[in-house]
A and B are shown apart, each in its own frame.
Chain A
């Protein structure tokens, strides 16, 4: 049960993010929502890579006979974090531009394109 605990945290984080994206009316909060989902997924990937009693895969310092974790999930998470930084920067800069042109960052006001 306790081993599944990270997965509950993953679901909680993704759920919070989705709630924010569906119901919050502030563009900056939407960016936060996307970041929450992303963190949930990063946690998910990292949890998948966990093996009980295994050590980091550094060949030169490994004691013989000990199990090693596969480093792929860590690599995936690192890539995903880097991409997430770029995404957040882009979204926030666009929110800034919208504020410059519209004078507001409320979702209800930012809808000149519709129909």
Chain B
């Protein structure tokens, strides 16, 4: 038995088993649970990197459960796959890398961040479950399996949003709202899965992709899936849960929730590109996604400007940045059936959108962590009550400047590189879209200038005399994210060429995805 062949399942199994081990260990010693969770997530980060190297050099990997060999997709001469399987292509591993990195840093940050040490074991247990479900959503090749992981993700994240619920009402309210909307979305996903099963008798994404006809039923399933998954990703006008949940969750959890909502975004792309591809009316569906993106960008950023709660403000920015991803990939989808336009600007637009997913996870994670650092030391999230904190928290200030510059798309940080890709390619599709995207970028800068001015600048305030720099593990997590942002900003071509471009190509070329399961059909 070669463990190396089992990396896809070990990435999930290690955190999953640790998640159930932690409550037992927590009975003996609560403090070690945090270190144990961090170690498990670190191990799964290393394995994700190993798997990424394999996927990018060899090609898409499959892992079939319950079969003698994990590579046997079609046992005993069947025409269609019946087993549950993981199917990891360049796009899946791209999202997997984001998940692994973000959850590892979230666990490191939590080591010092958590003040309530009594419930620390359940916190880490749920954090590991959330990570596992995100990996599952990104790796799975089976629609029903996707639904199960979606439900695990929403349950784990709801419990984590309510983490401070024993003393406060607001976190529970946010959790309740998120639970209701995510239950609706998960059930609607199950309904769509049922439609696919009734029509084609298979649940494997690749197998459905090879027979999908875009009939009336397929259209209904597509509409339901796009809308509810866009809701999970936080697209306007279904975004109202986002500011509630993001602002009330503990800061490291907010960072992971951003990655979890991006896993839903990934599912939209997977379904639209890998499952339907050019059978659907690409122009109509592309425009639906573009308009969702435009609304998210504009309404998200304008609502952010008037917020007074620092995390609520950043949550509205998360909505607005999701709009960029939808815009970039939507333009790619709109020209999918037109090979010339696709080659001319479609691929670049998609590269911009996909690259933005990773950039957003990094800088928005960093910003939420700085907001958490401010909350950790000052005990408030209200911008009106803050001021002059740059005098006391020098590292946090520097990290905030890096994150704010990156999200506003200032060169030379990473946000600029991906936004430039989107502007220049979307301009060829429709100049108006590009102009709106730039206006939104300016408004983003404006609102972060507001945060920077009211929280960090100004004279020393008497009530913050005791404030000092945050503990080392929090600084470490923020420093790692800052280094990644600067590295991506200085060498965007390395990432685009080696990670983003293969991901885009594996979305566009449907056969690359279906071929790994069904053989070159």
Q: For chain B residues 149-175, which have a beta carbon within 8 Å of chain A? A: 151, 155, 158-159, 162, 165, 168-170, 172-175
Within 8 A of A (CB), among B179-195: 179-180, 183-184, 187, 190-191, 193-194
Closest A residue to B82 by beta carbon equals: A72
Q: Is B201 an interface residue (CB 8 A)?
A: yes
Residues of B within 8 A of A87 (CB): 151, 155, 179, 183
A88 nearest in chain B by CB position: B183
Please list the 6 inter-chain residue pairs (A to B) with the smallest Cβ-Cβ separation, ordered nearest first.
A101-B169, A48-B198, A113-B244, A97-B172, A94-B176, A83-B151
Instruction: List A contacts of B307 (CB < 8 A).
Output: 115
- Taking CB atoms, residues of chain B closer than 8 Å to A55 are none
Chain A contacts for B190, CB-based, 8 A: 41, 45, 80
B201 contacts A70, C-beta separation under 8 Å:
yes
* Contact residues in B for A110 (Cβ distance below 8 Å): 173, 176
How does the 8 Å CB contact mask read for B349-386 relative to A, with 1 for contact and 0 for none? 00000000000000000000000000000000000000
CA distance A90 to B176 in the complex (A): 9
Shortest Cβ gap from B322 to chain A (Å): 20
Cβ of A68 within 8 Å of any chain B Cβ, yes or no, is no
Q: Please report whether the interface of chain A is mostly helix, strand, loop or mixed according to DSSP.
A: helix
Contacts of A111 in B (CB 8 A): 173
Chain B CB count within 10 A is highest, among A30, A110, A113, for A113
* Residues on the B chain within 8 Å of A34, using CB: 180, 183-184, 187
For the complex, give the distance between the alpha carbons of A90 and B191 in Å: 22
- Residues of A that sit less than 8 Å from B by CB: 14, 21, 27, 30, 34, 37-38, 41, 44-45, 48, 70, 72-73, 76, 79-80, 83, 86-87, 90-91, 94-95, 97-98, 101-102, 110-113, 115
Q: In the complex, which residues 29-62 of chain B have their Cβ closer than 8 Å to any Cβ of chain A?
A: none
Q: Known: A72-B203, A87-B179, A113-B244. Is A94-B172 also a contact (CB below 8 A)? A: yes
Kindly list 13 other residue pairs between chains A and B, CB separation below 8 angstroms, not including A38-B187, A48-B198, A83-B151.
A41-B190, A44-B191, A45-B197, A72-B197, A76-B194, A80-B147, A90-B158, A90-B179, A95-B176, A97-B162, A98-B172, A98-B173, A113-B243
Q: Determine which residue in A21, A30, A115 has the highest number of CB atoms from chain B within 10 A of its CB, and name it.
A: A115
- Assess whether B248 is in contact with A97, with CB atoms less than 8 Å apart: no
A79, B148: Cβ atoms under 8 Å? yes
Inter-subunit contact B169/A86 (CB<8 Å): no
* Residues of B with C-beta under 8 A to A37: 184, 187
CB of B447 within 8 Å of the partner chain: no
Given A34-B183, A94-B162, A113-B248, A102:B169 Cβ within 8 A: yes
> Whole-angstrom distance from the CB of B189 to the nearest CB of chain A?
10
* Inter-chain contact A98/B176, CB cutoff 8 Å: yes
Residues of A within 8 A of B269 (CB): none
Partner of B155, one of A90, A101, A113, A115: A90
CB pair A97 B165 closer than 8 Å? yes
Query: In this complex, what residue of B is CB-closest to A112?
Result: B170
- Chain A residues with Cβ below 8 Å from B183 are 34, 38, 87, 91
Q: Which residue of A lies closest to B152 (CB)?
A: A83
Kindly state whether residue B144 has any CB partner on chain A within 8 Å.
yes
Nearest CB in chain B to that of A38: its residue: B187
Chain B residue at minimum C-beta to C-beta distance from A14: B191
Contact yes or no, B197 A73, CB < 8 A: yes
- For A112, the chain B residues whose CB sits under 8 A away are 169-170, 173
A101 and B162 form a contact (CB under 8 A): no
Residue pair B168, A101 in contact (C-beta under 8 Å): yes
Is residue B247 contacting chain A, with contact meaning CB distance below 8 A? yes
Give Cα distance in the complex from A101 to B159, angstroms. 17
Residues of A within 8 A of B155 (CB): 86-87, 90
Which one of B172, B194, B243 contacts A44 once the chains associate, using CB atoms below 8 Å?
A: B194
With a CB–CB cut-off of 8 A, which chain A residues contact B144?
76, 79
Q: How far is the CA of A111 from the CA of B194 in the complex (A)?
A: 35
Residue of B nearest to A101 (CB): B169
Which residues of the partner chain B approach A91 to less than 8 Å between Cβ atoms?
176, 179-180, 183
Q: Could you say which residues of chain B place their CB within 8 Å of the CB of A27?
A: 176
